[in-house]
């Protein structure tokens, strides 16, 4: 079902939804705006200039210059009165213009208005100085010879260039500034859109990372909302699918674990009744007169029944431990006193088996915060393993040390844990001991070889707190 959902998502995915295609579109737009924007700006500047030139109050320099020369040509050999009348007509047409004319002798005849600062009598140096002063200034100046030929005097028209229309020409500094500003605007817009694009990608990745690294109470991360079908959206869909698989697997595992525990509990209970009956009949059979072989068989039956009984008890205890139902009551316990009393209970069994018993217990108390019954169960398991599997060594050692928070050491001189044993089981007892030690914040280390085995029990610093 998950595969079919993934296939549908893959079919719905297209290049149009890809993050790569979206960013390529951003780059393409940036590349197109620059070559298209520069002509657009030039056209806008040109249209603005034309709009300014359509102002009726502005004068056309070309037309004004042509008109002035035509007027001067018509005044060839004209009387002074006619020249004055012509300049007055021009002044009436161009009230903001300044007009004056000079006759052939170099005398200024008429100034419109009278406040014009020009010499009353002109020399060659005055004419040169006047032309030099008007060249490149902010005043538009047109000088024309009367009759349009030298020797008959000249007339002059001056007008502020602010009153003139702007003629077409090369781009001005204002145009270049506009172009530069437009290019910087496009680049800034591209950087902003790129940063926004990657910021949104980063935000989605951080959200997915947070979902992955912040599991819920069940230990499984919560699914995320996958609203898009790009690369990150597909990753989110895959993450949600993985969470679904984990949840189904967890439920299936919990169901199987519950069934296993229930089965072990029922088997442990059901097997105890026939074991009790077998043990009772074996005891009754032992009261009868039996042959030597019969007595050996009866002893074997007793051992196997005891072994099976311990196995059933271990299975039942293991089930309770793994389900958290085994009673646990931690308290402050003097492990020196507990080890001394517990070893006293095992003393007859080891003495009957011919073991050398070696105990090294300090006088001062060493206290742990543990459940005494659990710790006794752990010691029982290890001592019983010595009695069953290390009988050939005929040695049992029990030492307690108060250094580094306390330590219990059980030693034997058997063939080691790797050696074969007729009574070697599945290791459920050791598993139970390991679980109990872990819950009591203790740990055990085995040092085993051909010359014997040592079990060290001590507080686990990694499990404190």
φ, ψ dihedrals at 427, nearest 5°: 80, 20
Residues of the chain with pLDDT under 70: 1-17, 34, 37-38, 41-42, 44-58, 136, 165-175, 268-269, 419-427, 462-465
How far apart, in whole angstroms, are the C-alpha atoms of residue 223 and residue 236?
8
Q: Looking up tokens 């009949």, which residue turns up?
A: 281
For residue 392, list its beta bridge partners. none
φ, ψ dihedrals at 276, nearest 5°: -65, -40
Terminal Cα distance for the chain, rounded: 44
pLDDT at 465: 46
Angle at 255 between CA 254 and CA 258, to 5 degrees: 85
The model carries a pTM of 0.46
pLDDT at 57: 47
For residue 369, list its beta bridge partners. 332
Which tokens sit at 100? 């004056």
How far apart, in whole angstroms, are the C-alpha atoms of residue 394 and residue 354?
6
Under a CB-based contact definition with an 8 Å cutoff, are residues 385 and 426 in contact? no
The DSSP secondary-structure symbol of 162 reads G
**Rounded-to-10 torsion of CA 378, 380, 384, 386:** 60
Q: In what order do the strands lie in the sheet with 442-449?
A: 356-360, 395-401, 407-412, 452-459, 442-449
pLDDT at 399: 92
Burial of residue 208 (number of CB atoms within 10 Å: 0-12, 13-18, 19+): middle
């Amino acid at each position: 079902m998950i595969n079919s959902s993934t296939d549908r998502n893959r079919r719905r995915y297209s290049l149009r939804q890809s993050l790569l295609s979206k960013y390529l579109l951003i780059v393409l737009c940036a590349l197109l705006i620059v070559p298209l924007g520069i002509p657009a700006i030039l056209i806008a500047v040109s249209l603005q200039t034309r709009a300014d030139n359509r102002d009726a109050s502005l004068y056309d320099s070309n037309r004004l210059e042509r008109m002035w020369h035509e007027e001067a040509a018509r005044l060839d050999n004209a009387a002074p009165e006619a020249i004055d009348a012509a300049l007055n007509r021009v002044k009436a047409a161009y009230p903001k213009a300044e007009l004056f004319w000079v006759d052939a002798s170099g005398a200024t005849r008429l100034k419109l208005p009278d406040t014009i600062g020009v010499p009353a009598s002109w020399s060659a140096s005055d004419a040169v100085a006047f032309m030099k002063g008007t060249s490149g200034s902010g005043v538009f100046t047109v000088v024309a010879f009367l009759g349009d030929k030298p020797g008959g005097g000249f007339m002059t028209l001056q007008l502020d260039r602010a009153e003139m229309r702007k003629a077409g020409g090369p781009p001005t500094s204002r145009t270049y500034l506009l172009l530069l500003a437009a290019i910087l605007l496009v680049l800034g817009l591209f950087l902003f859109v790129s940063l926004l694009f990657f910021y949104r990608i980063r935000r989605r990745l951080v959200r997915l990372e947070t979902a992955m690294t912040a599991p819920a109470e069940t230990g499984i991360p919560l699914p995320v909302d996958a609203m898009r079908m790009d690369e990150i959206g597909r990753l989110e869909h895959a993450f949600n699918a993985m969470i679904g698989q984990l949840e189904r697997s967890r439920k299936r595992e919990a169901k199987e674990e519950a069934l296993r525990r229930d089965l072990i509990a029922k088997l442990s209970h059901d097997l105890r009744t026939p074991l009790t009956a077998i043990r009772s009949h074996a005891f009754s059979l032992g009261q009868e007169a039996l042959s030597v072989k019969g007595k050996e068989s009866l002893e074997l039956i007793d051992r196997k029944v005891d072994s099976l009984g311990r196995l059933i008890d271990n299975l039942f205890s293991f089930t309770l431990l793994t389900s958290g139902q085994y009673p646990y009551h931690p308290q402050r316990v003097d492990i020196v006193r507990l080890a001394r009393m517990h070893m006293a209970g095992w003393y007859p069994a080891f003495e009957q088996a011919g073991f050398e018993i070696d105990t090294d217990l300090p006088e001062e108390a060493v206290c742990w915060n543990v459940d005494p019954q659990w710790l006794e169960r752990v010691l029982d398991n290890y001592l019983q393993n010595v009695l069953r599997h290390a009988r050939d060594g005929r040695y049992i050692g029990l030492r307690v040390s108060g250094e580094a928070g306390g330590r219990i050491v059980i030693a034997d001189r058997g063939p080691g844990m790797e050696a074969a044993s007729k009574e070697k089981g599945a290791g459920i007892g050791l598993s139970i001991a390991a679980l109990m030690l872990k819950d009591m914040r203790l740990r055990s280390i085995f040092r085993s070889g051909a010359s014997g085995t040592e079990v060290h029990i001590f507080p686990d610093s990694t499990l404190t707190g």
